Structures are given as structure tokens and as C-alpha cells.
Copies of this chain bind each other. A is one copy, B any other.
């Protein structure tokens, strides 16, 4: 069971811009940071901009910023807005021929109820919750240098 790479990258962009929300960022910088394809990110950023999650400005001093406070950006809504469909199995797909057993099969309803519960959890969280300090419950919002030190320290600890 997977969400698309498109949704994965959309969440990563929102996380990055939350961590760097007091300045503008660029697509290349985000691609470098996550070591992911710049071409993929172009489409992801375009979609996030069209759906008003981020503001993209061109020219000198331009770049990407979050459109809203990460405390108000709901994780469930982001995933609904970025995932191309929720065809958990093929019988959800109305463009394909109906399954031979569909008239008497209840699987679709059961999987639909399960998906609703999946989103009931996600709807409780905001982008800021993805970055909250578990000790204080406070959002970690400044990425550099506090977070880069934190990352370096975590890496040192992991390497013993």
C-alpha cells in the first residue's frame, strides 16, 4: 500500500518550506537537500502553487514560500489534494470495466470505510505537527543553523 511519489514529494516541500519559512527557497535547493529529482519537483511545486499551498515568485529575490502558517495546513487535506486517486483496488476505478462479481460484492464498501478511518487520523494533524519538538510540543521552524546542527549531531550519534 503506497501513496504516490507525487504526494511524498509534496509533503517534503511543505516540510522544507516550514523549516525555512522566514526566507524564500528554490526548487534546486530543495532537490539538493532531499537528493531527489529536480524535474519531479517542478511539477509538484506547480501543483502546490495552483492549490494555494505555496507562493512562487519569479525574478531577483523571488522563490518559494508557504502561503499559510503551517499550523493551519491540514495533512489530510494535502494528501487528498495531491494524490491522483483513491482507487484502493480496481473496482473503485469507474473508467475500467466493472468487476464481474460487483453486483453482490461488499469489498468496495469495506475498503471505503477503512480509507475513511485512515483519513480520520490524518485530518487531526497539521504540517506544524510533523515538525513539533516532542519534548516541548513547540514547532521547530528555523532550519539553519539550529536544525543543521541537530542533524549533524543525530548523524554522529547514529554512527557511534
Contacts and interface: CB of A to CB of B under 8 A. Distances in A.
Interface of A: 1-3, 5, 7-8, 11-12, 15-16, 19, 33-35, 75, 83, 85-90, 97, 99-101, 103-107, 110-111, 113-115, 117-122, 125, 129-132, 134, 140, 147, 150-151, 154-155
A107 B145 CA distance: 22
A151 B104 contact: yes
A129 B110 contact: yes
A76 to B, nearest CB: 9
Contacts of A110: 75, 121-122, 125, 129-130
A133 B104 CA distance: 8
A131 B140 CA distance: 50
Nearest to A107: B130
